[in-house]
Amino acid sequence: NNNYDLIIAADGSNSSTKKKLKTFSYKFDYDQICITLKVLLRGVKSNEAFEILSPDGPLAVLPLGEDLFQIICSQSKDKANNSIKLPSALFLDYLSTMLPNGVIPDCIVNERKSFPIKFLLNYSFHSGKYIYLGETSHTLHPVGGQGLNLCWRDVDTLTNLISYPFLKKHIYLLPMLYSLSRLVDVLSISFLTDFLVRYSRSNSNIFFIPRSIIFFILKKSNITRKLVLNIMTNGICF
């Protein structure tokens, strides 16, 4: 590795590269487990994706073509351990109670899989000539697909920086410039994503009125919806 001027580390949240370089992260485990499976659904457009925020946790419905959809469901650890063992018919009954009226789950296509959910944020996005990319530097709750969106923007930022003629000649500056370029976006989206998870799951009456107002504004205002979707897609970049 010493023969290279720049090394990209994209070996995931359990990165062996970070361990070797002793790069530390702030991290914790959510009290949730993510269950994912493929389901045939009726009553929904084949190109329509949506997410439901519930006290159990977010449930995402992602189109895979025709009537096939990927379900990504977050539940408490105790409930998820029971849900993963349910017979298919009973699990479909559970999905029916979560999905909007008129959307009917017909059958489960593949085996249900479960994954622990954790939060991870590096104290640094680079170390010397190493750049930490994607989940090597940040891992988020799957709500809203923000973890994946951050990863895509990491790649886009690095690609743009590498294309500058000046940095091609002074590549030793690239790791630091990459870290500075990604700092605001990663920190803000990490905070907002964690806040959304905690806020949407809270049963406290304190949050009922502001939550109702926020969702009313989102429902009635096209401008607000476009702004929120733009932030979720493109992040907060300067």
Q: Which two tokens stand for residue 174?
A: 């690239």
**Secondary-structure percent of the chain, ordered helix, strand, coil, rounded to 5:** 45, 25, 25
Query: What's the pLDDT at 218?
Result: 75
Query: Where are the strands (E) in 24-67, listed by range?
Result: 25-42, 50-52, 59-65
Entry pTM: 0.82
Query: What's the pLDDT at 212?
Result: 75
Of 131, 99, 115, 145, whose CA–CA distance to 10 is shortest? 131
Q: What is the full per-residue pLDDT of the chain (238 aa) written as tens digits?
A: 568 889 999 999 899 999 999 999 999 999 899 999 999 999 988 888 888 887 778 889 999 988 999 999 898 888 888 888 889 999 999 899 889 888 999 999 988 999 999 999 999 999 999 999 999 999 999 888 888 899 999 999 999 999 999 988 889 999 999 999 999 999 999 998 888 887 776 666 666 677 777 777 877 888 887 887 777 777 776 5
Query: What's the pLDDT at 10?
Result: 93
Query: What's the pLDDT at 199?
Result: 76
Q: What is the largest CA-CA distance in the chain?
A: 61
Query: What's the pLDDT at 203?
Result: 63
CB 95 within 8 A of CB 56: no
Query: What's the pLDDT at 11?
Result: 92
Q: How far apart are CA 66 and CA 71, in angstroms?
A: 15
Query: Where are the strands (E) in the chain, listed by range?
Result: 7-9, 25-42, 50-52, 59-65, 68-76, 104-108, 113-122, 126-127, 130-132, 138-139
Q: Which two tokens stand for residue 212?
A: 């109702």
